[in-house]
Structure 1
């Protein structure tokens, strides 16, 4: 099993291009099930999660072709017919978002059998809201032996869908199903994340009639069919925020290109409050720290446009060497402090009580062997390793590979001493 080793102490100076958004790309890939014409996605990240979903889509009848085009990395997805409506557990369990093939399958072919995704290390993350939305659209839902059986032989019907609480995945799933439903669907208490806007733009490019994404009310007027389209995936705001935190942690000056700083205003405001320099540019932003120790600041995670839960672990790593005490409140996922004990192995002073962590900044972290527990936790350990004295080795980095493309290459190009150690012990520079 691969590991990543970091020798701390080097400043970061250079440019890091931000990849396409993982959380958007995988839902856009699922949209290919809705049409018998090709969907071309540009600015596509190459990640474990997109490969997992590609395998599942191929099983369902989608032809998936990756290539380098004039607009960079692209993926062509073409499903002339749905050859199978069965999504098995051994594929869905590898990535929870695979469950979102359920709605498109039912919308296009009238039936589907999709495995429940199983547990998740950062919380329960139930799919009951997903099922309620599909059921509201007229599908008959049965649960049996860990599988969802959904049927709508006469097609889906427009409906009013009201979520009791905000759910990004359920909102996306409802949108994917409703675009081919007969009539008008209205989603109330919808998530407002930028990825929803990206999905709306892609679906509309395919001939759908969706409006309101990015607000709490999304309206979908169903159409008989969708056609092919070309769509550029939005830049990854979590990757952008991660490298912004890494630059503030290590010091130096890093330009983030192909980025939209307006998507992470909540983070950038906190970086400024802590003492880092932030300058917006035409295609991203510049993060600077001149060697002065950062100040401790408090954060509380919240749905967009608040502080993203997917950046909480990274910010906790940043606060481990800040001056003073910071309080970090997690309001989205109940188990998202599992990185704290691993940061403490590096010498961090952290105490956790319920949904709040207190981080008292220390003068110096010390390198050690640590273990990733989830995707965002894994990169928080890499960020801490950038300043830890000696060498930090992060194991179980298959979590990291799910959401960060060429991390060692991007950090290394800016001066970080980071390398991948292959499972057989061979280091890859």
Structure 2
């Protein structure tokens, strides 16, 4: 099993290209099930989750191909993918495929909308909380699907097609918004989703569906209206840059000091985290190449943060920010409001010398003068990269085990950091 070894020390200097957003690419790939024509996606990241979703879609009968390199491209350039579900031959998404990645459950929406039936294993993925699919099921039932849970599978049936309805989500859910948005695109009549997720990835999906012929208004607000159409066509769409990867590397630069340009990054996708980083002492400016992050030798100030749905501070950056706060001057507090079990990285950060106290969903971090390298273990995707950030400044050597979590969401992380001066390497086996 691969490990990452790094030695803390110098600042990061240079350029880091930001990949296409995993959290946008996955629902966009799933949207290919809605049409019998080819959907072409540009800037798709090379990640384990993307590769796994290729297998899941292929199981349903989707043909897929990846374009070879073109002039001007390099290993850091996103790939172009062609997906065509001309004939869906299997409406079952089996446990052995779905269990490793939660987002694969979202195929239930397009399958029942297009085929009138879907049998999808209940999801797996990172162990960061229960994250129930009740909202998905209730929403599809409001669209006219009959759903039963049997032996770990959700079985949805709508032999006469889905019918538009008003869906009031009990709480903001990105996954439910994605799934219901895709299902409603082929439903008869109008659907209104209230308390919808406002995340940029939802907007990206809506823009792609519109290019495919869907009639959608309000994406990016808490109310999305969808006028169902009989069929969708193929389209070409470019995946937006990954705001979580952007925020992660921005925090790494703030942690180590230095001066890095995050190429292709968009500041409008993460206004809240960048504002927090500026309060902590980082200098941030937007350029025609992306976002530039700098930190002088003054150190990092302690800042309190509470996670919140977009446009608030994303839960997917909570672990990274906690790593940053471990060496901040003073005491900071992080309140996790999205997932009930997303502090599993605390004990591993403590192995590096961090001083963190947990009280329910609130973490209190007393900044320490220095961290010290140690063997640590990744517990989930974002927790993994928080250990990398901490290891970048820890004295001595840090070894991070179980880095397969990292490969689910960060493309060529060690290469990107290494190009900017980090002493980091992957050890295979």
State the TM-score bracket (shorter-chain normalisation).
over 0.9
Match of residue 414 from structure 1 = 420
**CA deviation map 1:297-352 (0-9, x unaligned):** 11110010000000010000001111111011111111111101100000001111
Measure, in 1, the Cα distance between the counterparts of 2:197 and 2:69.
32
Consecutive aligned runs of 4 or more in structure 1 exceeding 3 Å deviation:
68-72
Matched, 1:359 2:365: yes
Measure, in 1, the Cα distance between the counterparts of 2:141 and 2:82.
31
TM-score by length of 1: 0.97
Measure, in 2, the Cα distance between the counterparts of 1:86 and 1:36.
18
Matched, 1:254 2:263: no
CA contact (8 A) 2:100 2:125 kept: no
| Stretch of structure 1 that moved more, 249-258 or 275-284 | 275-284
Which of residues 132, 144, 148 in structure 1 aligns to 2:138?
Answer: 132
Measure, in 2, the Cα distance between the counterparts of 1:10 and 1:382.
14
CA contact (8 A) 1:164 1:189 kept: yes
Which of residues 115, 118, 129 in structure 2 aligns to 1:112?
Answer: 118
Measure, in 2, the Cα distance between the counterparts of 1:56 and 1:205.
24
Match of residue 305 from structure 1 = 311
Measure, in 2, the Cα distance between the counterparts of 1:330 and 1:225.
41
CA contact (8 A) 1:260 1:283 kept: no
Match of residue 335 from structure 2 = 329
CA contact (8 A) 2:101 2:125 kept: no
Matched, 1:338 2:355: no
SS in 1 for 2:254: helix
**CA deviation map 1:358-380 (0-9, x unaligned):** 11111110000000110000000
User: Unaligned regions of 5+ residues in structure 1, if any?
Assistant: 424-429
SS in 2 for 1:154: coil
CA contact (8 A) 2:42 2:237 kept: yes
Match of residue 229 from structure 2 = 223
Measure, in 2, the Cα distance between the counterparts of 1:176 and 1:69.
31
SS in 1 for 2:270: helix
Measure, in 1, the Cα distance between the counterparts of 2:257 and 2:147.
53
SS in 1 for 2:310: coil
Match of residue 169 from structure 1 = 175
| Stretch of structure 1 that moved more, 65-74 or 360-369 | 65-74
| Stretch of structure 1 that moved more, 36-45 or 68-77 | 68-77
Matched, 1:236 2:205: no
CA contact (8 A) 1:192 1:216 kept: yes
Which aligned pairs between 1:48-197 and structure 2 lie closer than 5 A?
48-68=48-68, 72-118=78-124, 120-197=126-203
SS in 2 for 1:293: coil
CA contact (8 A) 2:126 2:381 kept: no
Match of residue 13 from structure 1 = 13
Measure, in 1, the Cα distance between the counterparts of 2:155 and 2:310.
33
Deviation of the 1:69 alpha carbon: 5.7
SS in 2 for 1:126: coil
Match of residue 282 from structure 2 = 276
Match of residue 24 from structure 2 = 24
Measure, in 1, the Cα distance between the counterparts of 2:288 and 2:362.
37
Deviation of the 1:280 alpha carbon: 1.2
SS in 2 for 1:43: strand
Deviation of the 1:119 alpha carbon: 7.3
CA contact (8 A) 2:101 2:124 kept: no
TM-score by length of 2: 0.97
Which of residues 216, 232, 245 in structure 2 aligns to 1:210?
Answer: 216
SS in 2 for 1:46: coil
**CA deviation map 1:20-39 (0-9, x unaligned):** 00001000000000000000
SS in 1 for 2:191: strand
SS in 1 for 2:230: coil
Deviation of the 1:291 alpha carbon: 2.2
Deviation of the 1:68 alpha carbon: 3.7
Measure, in 1, the Cα distance between the counterparts of 2:303 and 2:195.
31
Match of residue 373 from structure 1 = 379
Count residues in correspondence. Answer: 423
The CA RMSD over aligned residues, in Å, is 1.0
